[in-house]
Structure 1
Amino acid sequence: MARSISKTMDNILFGDDANDRAIGVELCRTGKFAKAYDRYTGYMAYLCRKFGLKPNKHIVSHKVLDPQRRYDPQSWLQPHGISWERFISDVKRVYDAWAGSSEEIEAPKTGVKSAVTSNPEKVLRKGSKGAAVKELQKKLIAAGFKLPRFGADGHYGDETVAAVKAFQKVVGISVDGIYGPATDNKLDHYKKPSKKNESKSAVVTYPGKLIRIGARGKNVERIQRAVGVKADGIFGANTEKTVKAYQQRHGLSADGIVGPATWEKMF
């Protein structure tokens, strides 16, 4: 499930190179999710029976094994309304109901109905278009998460991804930029803070000095969210490269430095 790196969590848990000691199973991201999920849980249950493993003890996510770089399979389960706990529970249910251990025996179905299957408009991501995206954008703007460049245009681009991530961070849920059931529920019940309760750091004003590679802090985070990169508050080479691309797209001097003109365009 994880790439071998000396002394990383995966190797610590398995006591050796995890690629040699663990079985990696991928969750297919194409086709119908419900069908892929049934096969995924079924095969997990089969492997547990075949090798004498316990679903709730021996199934470990890539996120746990390599938390700095990985977020699977939660990155595909959660947009479909499936928590990690629900996934383990479904595997255990199949495991308990499956009397045989032969690979030729068909695994019982979980019968999962994901959010994508039951309500496709509730899962939106980069590249999505249409009325559902426009409605989401209006909700974000009403909640105080600005879309200064394009507004509610019905296109789920980098600006909308950044706004969704900013919202997810504020409400304390998984920050993946995907508008799934959890984000939808939080946004529907979100109350915009009154101006007197908003922190001064939330006010987006030009800091009065150029922001370039090597800079750190909240303003760097804002820039990173605006251009759609990881908002770690460190203006590194990747942020500079993405800022240059942003500047080029908007007819600005592509120097990778955020000055008044670039700031005004972003915010």
Structure 2
Amino acid sequence: MSDLINVILLGIIEGITEFLPISSTGHLLIAQHWLGARSDTFNIVIQAGAILAVTLIYWKRLWMLATGWREPDNRDYLLKLVLAFLITAILGLIVAKLGFTLPDRVTPIAIALIVGGFWIFAAEWWSAKRPDSERITWTVVIAVGLAQIVAAIFPGVSRSAATIFAAMLAGTNNRAAATEFAFLVGIPTMYAASGYEIFKQLRSGGVQEDWSAVAVGFVVATITAFIAVKWLLGYIRTHTFNAFAVYRIVFGGLLLLLVPGN
């Protein structure tokens, strides 16, 4: 029973933090210091649950892009989503081939949280100096694709934070437009990451995983992410992301102070 509670708590943490710019992977790795360590497979698959929530929220937009691809604007947007995904996928495979694994120490996560907080302040400051723009340029596309890899390599950076604020710094300084593109790119990225992780385990001789725990975490993450994303999309209409920057810096600082040597 205690393990089930731990899995539910991890699913809730994932669902809340995956799309808020505060790092789901960082929070999960930190939480697992107290709730018990989980495999990379568990972490990646429950992230896919959060991605399912975004798929459900954006299903009309996705359907419009899929069925209206003959329209120049839709086709252009689709091509940009594809390129951002391909940049991430190709570089991600290279990183995987090099044998990269996520660090399980708190200190680098805390530092990434703090640095990411100042990154948010910089993006908001820079965006406020320029006219509002919803345009997704090819520069933005490349920046978002690269940002996803940076977030994958350094837990605590946050995929949503890295992509949203890379887009804002690269030219799409309208928060809603930058957030939508970042979230839509995340859909194929996280589904592909989940599929790749499962494929690796099957190829190595079998899936060594408690799939009932993964399933519970997946469902809980989906429900909580749906609520969190709905709230975030309403919040950014009238607020900046600076409150999340403050949270990251304070939380990262507390981790450095309270968990020394980790």
TM over 0.5: no
TM-score, length basis structure 2: 0.26
Bigger relative contact order, structure 1 or 2 (CA pairs below 8 A, ≥6 apart): 2
Q: What's the TM-score, normalizing by structure 1?
A: 0.25
Greater gyration radius:
1
